[in-house]
Structure 1
């Protein structure tokens, strides 16, 4: 998306989803979480450049009772999540250096998998003054 001055453009999109009252079993499904990271990038026009990493994490403190964390690197940047099965909560991030992303499709994908009952979704434009050409 080039701007009127023709010298700058938007660099990317940062997608964030916080899912509440999610299904405990889905949040703890390590194989399912790996599958998400293997399949979602292709469904939304991203290109996987690494093997997904999904790790069970024990409790850290009273606020963090443990869960599963995962990420995958994509040519456009990354997709990551942290699940908290005991709290029915998942937090998800995806950054892309494309200036468009089908946030509704991503939201639906995660809502269906985790059976999320409530969510907060934010989509933020990043790098809004990114130079169209090299400046140095």
Structure 2
């Protein structure tokens, strides 16, 4: 959130203001038993939604055979998804929230601790429009494509 607040958007670029943030989280070195425990994963998903200050509308999960779980929280502000690969100690997580009140990064911090990850990678992307820092590059690419077609 602080990063978004630091960006200034000139009036002519207000259509480029992001409507939300999308955190892509990769968790490594997680205990295998947690990654195949659908009850634990559902609880972690619900707690992550609460930690993100978002509104949980519905949760759905599926246990794969012989192992692995996919769980999704439908939020009023968008969604959180968790996909586990117990055989690799790996989890792929998406936390996408809209609105100034939400804290998707806090949900990620919670999940890192809950799943006892020994390593993690997190990327946060503005959503809704391209941020002003990459918008000129996209416009240049579009012009190049138009010239070459």
Shorter-chain TM-score range = 0.7 to 0.9
Which gives a bigger RCO, structure 1 or 2 (Cα 8 Å, sep 6+)?
A: 1
Q: Distance in 2 between matches of 1:98 and 1:127?
A: 11
Q: Which has the higher helix share?
A: 2
Shift in Å, 1:111 = 1.6
Q: Scaled by the length of structure 2, what TM-score is found?
A: 0.73
Q: What are structure 1's unaligned runs of at least 5 residues?
A: 60-65, 131-136
Q: Deviations over 1:23-64 (max 9, x none)?
A: 1111111111111222221222100111x11111236xxxxx
Matched residue SS, 2:111: helix
Do the aligned partners of residues 17 and 41 (structure 1) sit closer, same or farther apart at CA in structure 2, a change above 3 Å counting?
same
Q: Which residue of structure 1 lines up, in the alignment, with residue 97 of structure 2?
A: 96
Q: Scaled by the length of structure 1, what TM-score is found?
A: 0.79
Higher radius of gyration, 1 or 2:
2
CA RMSD of aligned residues (A): 2.2
Q: Distance in 2 between matches of 1:18 and 1:39?
A: 18
Q: Distance in 1 between matches of 2:46 and 2:26?
A: 21
1:1-136 paired onto structure 2 within 5 Å: 3-5=9-11, 7-8=14-15, 9-50=17-58, 52-58=59-65, 66-98=67-99, 101-103=103-105, 105-128=106-129
Matched residue count: 122
Q: Distance in 1 between matches of 2:130 and 2:84?
A: 34
Shift in Å, 1:98 = 2.2
Q: What are structure 2's unaligned runs of at least 5 residues?
A: 132-149
